[in-house]
Amino acid sequence: MNYKVLNEKTEVLSQLITLTAELYKNANDVQKALLETLIGAGIWYLPSDRKVLFNGKISKAALEQLKTDPQNTKLVEEHGRMPRKVAGKALYTDYL
């Protein structure tokens, strides 16, 4: 994993959250949802390395779908314990 790029991107994402915190605070629910999604997208585009970050777990729903319809099952990169949009909201509401 390129930790230099990871640090550079997380630094700018952190600054973006700080700079838009007041906008988030004064936004209506639709606007807040958009900001949370935008930050979640920023999290999605952070560098990742499956060898370093993959925990080897799969959801029960994904496993069942693989068993019943493997040809049409599309797996996505894991969210860990928190979907990115929820993480975006938490960054604005819990960590600022």
Measured CA to CA, the distance from residue 43 to residue 53 in angstroms comes to: 14
- Report the domain count for the chain: 1
User: For a pLDDT cut of 90, what percent of the chain falls above it?
Assistant: 56
Tokens at 64, concatenated: 């069942």
49-75 pLDDT, tens digit each:
766 666 677 778 888 999 999 999 887
Domain that includes residue 25, residue range? 3-93
2-47 pLDDT, tens digit each:
889 999 999 999 999 999 999 999 999 999 999 999 999 998 888 8
